Structure 1
Amino acid sequence: MAPKARLLPLLPLITTFLFVSTNVNSVNSPPPPSCAPFDCGNGLTLSYPFHPQIHLPHSCGYPNLAISCAKNQPILHISNNPYAVQSLNTTDNSITVTYGGESCPIAARAVALDHSDYSPLSYNTGNKLVRFHYNCTVYPPSAAGIKCLQRGAKHSYAFLEGSEPESEWMSHCESSVVAPVIESAVDDLRSGSGNAVELAFKLAWELVDGSCKVCEESGGFCGSSNGGDDRNFVCFCSDGRHSSLSCHVSGEMSQSKTSQLNYVAIGK
Structure 2
Amino acid sequence: MSCFNKILLFFLSFLLIHPLESVPSIIPLNGSCTDKCGNIVLKYPFGSGFGCGHPAFSRFIKCTTSGVLQFSTTSGIYTISSLDYSTNTFVLTDPFMSTCSSMQNSGSFTLDHDDSSLTPFSIMKQNMFVLLGCSTTSAVFDPKQDLCDGGSGSNVCRGMYSCKGVTGIGLEPNDPISTCCVYDPPVPVGSGYGLNLPRLQCSSYSSIYGFGGDEGDPMKWEFGISLQYNNSYYVDESCKNCEDSGGFCGFSGADESFACICRNGVNSTINCYGRGYALSGTWRHKIQTGMSIGGIIFFWMMMLFI
> What letter matches 1:99 in structure 2?
D
Q: Distance in 2 between matches of 1:151 and 1:176?
A: 10
Asked if 1:52 is matched to 2:78, the reply is no
What is the RMSD computed on CA atoms of the aligned residues?
Answer: 4.5
Question: Are residues 1:151 and 2:174 paired?
Answer: no
Supply the distance in 1 between the matched residues of 2:92 and 2:224 (Cα, whole angstroms). 5
Structure-1 separation of matches of 2:256 and 2:213? 43
- Structure 2-normalised TM-score? 0.49
Q: Of residues 183, 188, 192 in structure 1, which corresponds to 2:210?
A: 183
Contact 2:207 2:223 in 1 (8 A): no
Q: Which runs of 5+ in 1 are unaligned?
A: 1-31, 163-172, 260-268
CA shift, 1:35, in A, is: 3.3
1:144-174 CA deviation, whole Å, 9 max, x = no partner?
2534234048975242638xxxxxxxxxx83
Give the corresponding residue for 1:121.
Answer: 121
Asked if the contact 1:95/1:202 (under 8 Å) is kept, the reply is: yes
Match of 1:112 in 2: 111
Query: Equivalent of 2:82, from 80, 87, 104?
Result: 87
Tell me the amino acid that sits aligned with residue 181 of structure 1: I
Aligned with residue 75 of structure 1, among 49, 63, 70? 70
Report deviation, 1:120.
2.6
> 2-side partners of 1:253 and 1:187: how far apart?
55
Q: Give the whole-Å Cα distance in 1 for the aligned partners of 2:281 and 2:225.
A: 42
Q: What is aligned with 2:195?
A: none
Matches within 5 A, 1:115-264: 115=114, 116-117=116-117, 119-124=119-124, 127-136=126-135, 144=158, 146=161, 147=163, 148-149=165-166, 150-152=169-171, 156-159=179-182, 161=184, 174-175=201-202, 181-184=208-211, 193-194=218-219, 198-209=222-233, 212-220=235-243, 221-226=248-253, 230-236=254-260, 242-244=267-269, 246-247=270-271, 252-256=276-280, 258=282
Structure 2 portions without partners, runs of 5+: 1-29, 142-149, 186-199, 284-306
Q: C-alpha separation between the residues in 1 aligned to 2:210 and 2:104?
A: 15
Counterpart of 2:52 in structure 1: which amino acid? C
Q: Compute the displacement of 1:45 (Å).
A: 2.7
Q: How much has 1:109 moved relative to structure 2?
A: 2.3
CA positional deviation for 1:200: 0.6
Rounded Cα–Cα distance in structure 2 between residues aligned with 1:105 and 1:213 = 46
Tell me, in whole angstroms, the C-alpha distance in 1 between the residues paired with 2:87 and 2:63. Answer: 23
**In 2, Cα distance between equivalents of 1:157 and 1:107:** 14
Q: 1:26 corresponds to which residue? A: none
Q: Which residue does 2:288 correspond to in 1?
A: none
- Closer, same or farther: CA 80–128 of 1 in aligned 2, 3 Å: closer
The 3-state SS of whatever aligns with 2:117 is: coil
Q: What is the TM-score normalised by the length of structure 1?
A: 0.54
Structure number with greater CO (CA < 8 Å, separation at least 6) is 2
Instruction: Answer yes or no: is the 8 Å Cα contact 2:127–2:226 preserved in 1.
Output: no
Counterpart amino acid of residue 45 in structure 1: I
Q: Larger radius of gyration, structure 1 or 2? A: 2
Paired residues in the alignment total 202
- Shift of the 218–152 alpha-carbon distance from structure 1 to 2, 3 Å rule, reads closer
- Structure-1 separation of matches of 2:256 and 2:252: 5
Give the fraction of aligned pairs with identical amino acids, expressed as a percent. 14
- Aligned pair in 2 of structure 1 residues 194, 161: CA closer, same or farther (>3 Å)? farther
Going from structure 1 to structure 2, the CA distance change for 1:52 and 1:248 (only over 3 Å counts) comes to closer
Instruction: State yes or no: 1:34 paired with 2:32.
Output: yes
Distance in 2, Cα, partners of 1:198 & 1:111:
20
